[in-house]
Amino acid sequence: MHKVALIVALAAILVASSAIAQESDSLAVPPPISLKAYDTPSDKGGSITLEWELSPGDTGENGIITGYRIIRYVGSPESSEVVAKVPGGTRRFVDSRTHDGTAYYYQVVALADSVASAPVIAGPVQSKQQWFDRTRANLLVIALILVFAITYFIFLGAKGKELYIRRISGLEAIDEAVGRATEMGKPILFIPGIQDMDNVQTVAGMTLLAHIARKAATYETKLEVPVSRSIVMSVGRETVRQAYLEAGRPDLYNDDIVHYITDEQFGYVAAVDGIMVRQRPAACFYLGAFFAESLILAETGNSIGAIQVAGTAMPTQLPFFVAACDYTLIGEELFAASAYLSKDRKMQGSLKGQDAGKAIALIFIVAGVALATLASTTGNETLLAASNWLRRLFTMNF
Amino acid sequence: MIILESQPILTTPVAHAVGVWIASLLTLMIFSFLYKDNPFYKFAEHLFVGISAAYWMTVAFWTTLIPNMIARLWPAHMGGVLPAAVGQPREWIYIIPFAFGIILLTRLVSRIAWLSRWAMGFVIGFAAGTNFTRYLQSDFVSQIHSTMVPLYQPGATTASTIGNIFSQLVVFGGVVSALVYFFFSKEHKGAFGRVARFGIWILMAAFGASFGYTVMARISLLTGRMNYLIQWVKGASW
């Protein structure tokens, strides 16, 4: 009995001495300083940021601190969980696994190998979603400037001010191609690309389809519009129906003018190629967003001797259209087309507004390059700061 | 996001062989178009169009309509279809796209077909709005940022310095002249016209490089397909 009591007493002494040793070790490891925990700003919620000053023992290679352990709990420390361990020298950590509206407490302890310092505590803190991302404030300003420029010129156009738009040769070829199909008594083929209506190029293609359909209705020329998206088919039918109505020939319209083939890219291409070689249209229009099918379509159109007009803003497909088509609307010419063809002053105003946006971009590019060159050449600190600020104005995280 | 579970497809050597034969013969039928339009091509074309149209309709139904609409509005009824959705709270906000979907289908009834224009207007308006910020970031802001670099950047050697200057001049000159080309408010005459002409040369040079690059990629696709056919010929027991 005495022996048992002695063993228990010795064990208790050992545990106590171990705890005292640990505590004294812990006291030897200096904790980090000034821990701050706050909701991560300008985010979609679910994230809390921690910042602290390095422990006095965290002095790089000569220091004793090897890292920091980050602990999180809700309510009482009993529910603590280790969120992360970060290496020495770290001053910041973002906990991106929080639930919005829950009050969290954070402890950060410095680690010297296996020995931990006393914890520093911050909290309670809650994460929440922000309505406005302040890091994108520059984008808002740029967008507002562009919107203002476009609105201003639309307003001028609506007031009847004469707005000059230069000649775009590719667009004049559209009327020429429709005229040729009419003379030859052959159909017109219009391909609005293979993307859906959420692509602006398809939207631009639809506005051009309206123009071509109006001409086709006026000249009583057959129009064929195979599409690869169901929504494009719906919008295309509405567009063509309206165009035939405006041309005073609703009797010529039927829903089969715009018809769906398949969503599959090369299935669509195979079918369109088949239509080309069997119906032998005199004019082929490729106006919209295209991918690998561009050359296949344009080459088949070329092989049947059709006059071809293409337009896309896909940089990788433009070379093929330039090589295989008679006229190509390059990039923004496709978007400018509807304004140019309609002669509508409001639309021309919007085009003018876009030009104003390009002029602003040009000014900033020239100013930015000049400043950066001067700063690089002279090494002047003020110029360098101005140059960096100007560049930062055009970043995603202002 | 709710993900549908896929079942593994079991194949036998016979099924595999039949698949290879079908794929190879259809490849040859499609290639026959290079000679001229013919019944084999027509057969392959119509088969491809029919199968792919049905395939994409099925894909859209199971990957869009079911998980993104039905499962969010009626999660409790997804037991045999999408077990992961069962127990999830009903998301009433999806009533809006559901209503727009129904409105889009009014095209089938000529008397109220005009209603479908609302849904189409929503799609186009949404596309314009979301694309505005997307393109503003990627095609406007980022491009300006990337162009704002010094024309003079000293390199390790004189040759590299000259190389840096030349590269930056090409980038700067190319961007400015191409922007001038896309200016529609002013006629391309005089000095402005010369800058615009330089811009179109730059564009054509870029297109030439892109053409060559893409042709190489296409040749590799053709090589892959020819290789498939060669393997088929080698493996076929005539």
Read off the pLDDT of residues A194-252 as tens digits, 9 standing for 90 and up: 999 888 899 899 999 999 999 999 999 999 999 999 999 999 999 999 999 999 999 99
- A273-293 pLDDT, tens digit each: 999 999 999 999 999 999 989
How many interface pairs between A and B have CB atoms less than 8 angstroms apart?
189
* Of B52, B128, B151, Cβ closest to residue A200: B128
Substitution target from B32, B144, B181 for chain A, most A beta carbons within 10 A:
B144
Mean pLDDT to the nearest integer, A285-309: 94
Please name which of A327, A301, A331 lies closest in space to residue A316, comparing C-alpha atoms. Answer: A331
- DSSP characters over A85-106: EEETT--EEEE----TT--EEE
Compute the nearest-CA separation of A127 from chain B (Å): 22
CA distance A208 to A336: 10
Mean pLDDT to the nearest integer, A299-313: 94
Flag if B124 and A235 touch (Cβ within 8 Å). Answer: yes
pLDDT at position A11, please? 58
CA distance B24 to B65: 34
- A172-186 pLDDT, tens digit each: 888 899 999 999 999
Per residue in A308-340, is it b (16+ CB within 10 Å) or e — as a string? Answer: bbbbbbbebbbbbbbebbbbbbbbbbbbbbbbb
- Would you give the end-to-end CA distance of chain A in angstroms? 76
> A367: which residues sit within 8 A by CB, 6+ positions away?
A390
| Ranges of each domain in chain B | 13-90, 173-238
SS3 call for A41: coil
Q: Tell me the β-bridge partners of A111.
A: A67, A116
| pLDDT above 50 (res B10) | yes
Place of tokens 């507002």: A144
Q: Are A308 and A284 in contact (CB under 8 A)?
A: yes
Give the single-character DSSP code of B139.
Answer: I
Give one word for A308, left, alpha or beta, with left for phi > 0 and alpha for psi -120 to 50: beta
Substitution target from B148, B153, B213 for chain A, most A beta carbons within 10 A:
B148
- B135 falls in which pLDDT band (50, 70, 90)? confident
Give the single-character DSSP code of B108.
Answer: G
Interface of B with A in 15-74 (CB under 8 A): 30, 33, 36-37, 41-42, 44-45, 48-49, 51-53, 55-56, 60
Highest mean pLDDT among A57-61, A119-123, A234-238: A234-238
Beta strand residue intervals within A96-193, DSSP E: 104-112, 115-116, 120-125, 188-193
SS3 call for A265: helix
B127: which chain A residues are within 8 Å (Cβ-Cβ)?
Answer: 197-200, 203
Q: H or E stretch including A68?
A: strand A67-73
A365: which chain B residues are within 8 Å (Cβ-Cβ)?
Answer: 144, 147-148, 172, 175-176, 179
Interface of B with A in 180-209 (CB under 8 A): 180, 182-188, 203-204, 206-208
Whether B113 contacts chain A with CB within 8 A? no
CA distance B84 to A151: 48
- Which pair of structure tokens corresponds to residue A100? 């919005």
| Ranges of each domain in chain A | 29-125, 163-343
- Which pair of structure tokens corresponds to residue A385? 């700061």
* Of A142, A359, A371, Cβ closest to residue B136: A142
CA distance A330 to A350: 19
pLDDT at position A5, please? 61
Q: Are A186 and A282 in contact (CB under 8 A)?
A: yes
Place of tokens 């290639």: B31
The answer to whether domain A29-125 and domain A163-343 are alike in fold is no
Least confident of B7-16, B86-95, B103-112, B138-147: B7-16
SS3 call for B164: helix
- Would you give the end-to-end CA distance of chain B in angstroms? 50
CA distance B214 to A296: 13
Q: Are A191 and A285 in contact (CB under 8 A)?
A: yes
| pLDDT above 60 (res A1) | no
Superfamily of domain A29-125: Immunoglobulins (2.60.40.10)
Place of tokens 């595999």: B16
Mean pLDDT to the nearest integer, A334-355: 83
Question: What is A163-343's CATH number?
Answer: 3.40.50
Query: What's the one-letter identity of residue B4?
Result: L
Q: Tell me the β-bridge partners of A284.
A: A189, A308
Compute the nearest-CA separation of B163 from chain A (Å): 15
Query: What's the one-letter identity of residue A153?
Result: F
Mean pLDDT to the nearest integer, A46-53: 91
> B177: which residues sit within 8 A by CB, 6+ positions away?
B195, B196, B198, B199, B202
Q: What's the whole-number average pLDDT of chain A?
A: 87
Q: Are A226 and A268 in contact (CB under 8 A)?
A: yes
| Residue in chain A lying closest to B49 (CA) | A267
| pLDDT above 80 (res A29) | no
Compute the nearest-CA separation of B237 from chain A (Å): 31
CA distance A289 to A398: 32
Half-sphere exposure of A100 (CA within 13 A, CB side): 8
Substitution target from A140, A163, A232, A235 for chain B, most B beta carbons within 10 A:
A235
Q: What are phi and psi of A297, to 5 degrees?
A: -65, -50
CA distance B187 to A168: 10
pLDDT at position A25, please? 56
B182: which chain A residues are within 8 Å (Cβ-Cβ)?
Answer: 331-333, 358
| Residue in chain A lying closest to B193 (CA) | A166
Number of H helices, E strands in chain A: 11, 14
Flag if A352 and B185 touch (Cβ within 8 Å). Answer: yes
| pLDDT above 90 (res A338) | no
Whether B216 contacts chain A with CB within 8 A? no
Mean pLDDT to the nearest integer, B62-80: 88
Mean pLDDT to the nearest integer, A82-97: 89
Give the single-character DSSP code of A260.
Answer: E
pLDDT at position B1, please? 43
